[in-house]
Amino acid sequence: MYSSSNHSNGYHPQHQHEDNRFGQTHSHSKDRVRRYTRGGATSTNSRSRDFRDSHGHAGPTSASALRVSDQHQKPATDFDMAYFHSYAHVGIHEEMIKDRVRTETYRMAIMQHQSAIAGKVVVDVGCGTGILSIFCAQAGAKRVYAVDASEIALQANEVVKANNLSDTVIVLHGRVEDVEIDEEVDVIISEWMGYMLLYESMLGSVITARDRWLKPGGLILPSNATLYMAPVTHSDRYSESIDFWRNVYGIDMSAMLPLAKQCAFEEPCVETITGENVLTWPHVVKHVDCYTITIHELESVTTRYKFKSMMRAPLHGFAFWFDVEFSGPAVSPSNNHTLSLLVDNNPIDGSQRKKRANPNEALVLSTAPEDPPTHWQQTMIYFYDPIEVEQDQLIEGSVTLSQSKENARFMNIHLEYASGGRAFVKESVMR
C-alpha cells in the first residue's frame, strides 16, 4: 500500500521518516499495514496461547497454557506471521488509538449497544492493546475474549491486569482461526478495516469468528460496511510530483517525467483529499453485510461504474473510501431495530448509494473526503496522465479488487476506464 506519490514501491530510501504505525519509512503519510510485506517469515510462532488459569480465569502466560488447534483453518503462512509481527509495534496501535474519530465511534457504538453487551459474552477479533475489549467490559460484559495473534496480546494482558479486569477480559494470544473458546458468544466486535476497506483481508477472520462462535441472533459490531469510489481532479498533486520536473532551477528535467509518473502513480496512494476534489456522487463498489458475507465473496469483487462529471476539469484518477455502520442484525421491517440505511439508486450515475433513513438510529464511522479525517485517509488510484472532461461527460468502466494469489493480504486492482472516446486499463497492486 502506498501512502504517498513519491515511491514506486514501499521501500524507497528517499524521503524517509519513521512511520509510527508500522515502523516503516515513507514520505507523506502513515501506512496502516506495510511493514509485514518486507521481511517474509518472522520468529513469531503460530501457536495459540491463552492467559486463563485452570479455572478459566485470566492469568500469567505459561508454557502449559500454550494450546494448539489446527483443525479449523489453513495454517498461518509466513506472510501472516510477518503481518502479525507488524502489529507488535507500539506505533501502529498509537496511531489507531489516537484516531479519535475511529476510537470514539467504537466506544459510542459499544455504549449505544450496551443492552446487548451487558451480562453477555463478547469476542474481540484482533484485540491489539485490548482497548475495545475494555470498552466492552466497561459496558458490563460478563466475559470478553480478547484474541490477537500478534505479540501485542501480551501487552493487552498487562493492560487488562493493570485495570483489574482479568476476571472479565480473557486474553488469548493466537489466531482467531486457531484459538479455542468453549462457549458461544453473544457479540463480536472487531476493528478489521484496511485501506480501501478490504486491504489486509482481516474481514475473513471476523467471518471465521462469526461462524465458529456467534449465537443465532448475536450482534456484530460493526454490522456492515460500504466501499465507494468517485472520479477526482487533483491538479496540485499532479503539479507537485510531475510538473515539478519541467523546470528545476531553470533546468529542463522533462526527461524525468516518465520515471516520475511511474514512481508517483504506479501503485495506490493513501492521501487526504477534500470534497472539492471529487467530481461526482460516489459509486458503491461493494456493500458488506457482516452477518451474511462469506469468505469466498471477498476473494474478488468486481463492479461496473458510470459517472457523469459535474464540471469541466482534468480527471486525475479515482478515490476510494469506506464507511462502516454499527447496527443490529437485519430483521423484518416490523421490528424497531431494522437496519437504518436504505440503498437507493443514485440519480446522477445510476449506481446505488446509501441513504440514511434515520440518522439517529445507527452510528456510522465514515472515511469520506467530506467527513473529519481518519488515519485511513482516502486511497487514490491516479492515472499517469490526466484526461480533460467536460461537464456531463461520461466516465465509465469497471474495477476488480482481488486478493493476490501470492499473499491474500495484498490486493490486485484491475481498473478499466473510458471517457471521451478513449479507453485505458490500469493494473496495480496494494502490498
Ligand X SMILES: C[S@@+](CC[C@H](N)C(=O)[O-])C[C@H]1O[C@@H](n2cnc3c(N)ncnc32)[C@H](O)[C@@H]1O
Which residues does the annotation mark as catalytic? 191, 200
Q: Which is nearer to ligand X, 65 or 97 (CB)?
A: 97
Q: Which is nearer to ligand X, 106 or 382 (CB)?
A: 106
In this structure, are strands 185-190 and 214-221 parallel, antiparallel, or unpaired? parallel
Q: Which is nearer to ligand X, 126 or 268 (CB)?
A: 126
d(CA 118, CA 137) in angstroms, rounded, equals 8
Shortest-Cβ-distance residue relative to ligand X: 126
Name the minimum Å distance from CB 87 to ligand X. 4
Q: Which is nearer to ligand X, 198 or 264 (CB)?
A: 198
In this structure, are strands 169-173 and 48-50 parallel, antiparallel, or unpaired? antiparallel
226 contacts: CB under 8 Å, gap ≥ 6: 284, 286, 287, 288, 322, 323, 324, 325, 354
Name the minimum Å distance from CB 194 to ligand X. 8
d(CA 96, CA 19) in angstroms, rounded, equals 13
Q: Which is nearer to ligand X, 147 or 285 (CB)?
A: 147
Name the minimum Å distance from CB 347 to ligand X. 36
d(CA 225, CA 326) in angstroms, rounded, equals 9
Q: How far is CA 22 from CA 157, 216, 233, 376, in A?
A: 21, 37, 30, 14
Q: Which of helix, strand or coil describes residue 46?
A: coil
- Run of H or E including 259: helix 257-265
Kindly provide the b/e burial profile for residues 304-321, where b requires at least 16 CB atoms within 10 angstroms of the residue's own CB.
ebbbbbeeebebbbbbbb
- Residue type at 364 in one-letter notation: V
Indicate the DSSP class of residue 275.
G
Name the minimum Å distance from CB 106 to ligand X. 7
Name the minimum Å distance from CB 172 to ligand X. 8
d(CA 153, CA 159) in angstroms, rounded, equals 10
- Is-contact 270 1, C-beta < 8 A? yes
Indicate the DSSP class of residue 52.
B
Q: Which is nearer to ligand X, 129 or 403 (CB)?
A: 129
Q: Which is nearer to ligand X, 144 or 273 (CB)?
A: 144
Q: How far is CA 243 from CA 191, 240, 317, in A?
A: 39, 6, 17
d(CA 225, CA 328) in angstroms, rounded, equals 13
Which residues bind to ligand X, rule: CB under 6 A?
Answer: 84, 87, 93, 96-97, 126-129, 131-132, 147-150, 152, 175-177, 191, 202, 205
Name the minimum Å distance from CB 294 to ligand X. 16
Cell numbers representing residue 349 in the block: 450515475
d(CA 80, CA 212) in angstroms, rounded, equals 20
Name the minimum Å distance from CB 66 to ligand X. 16
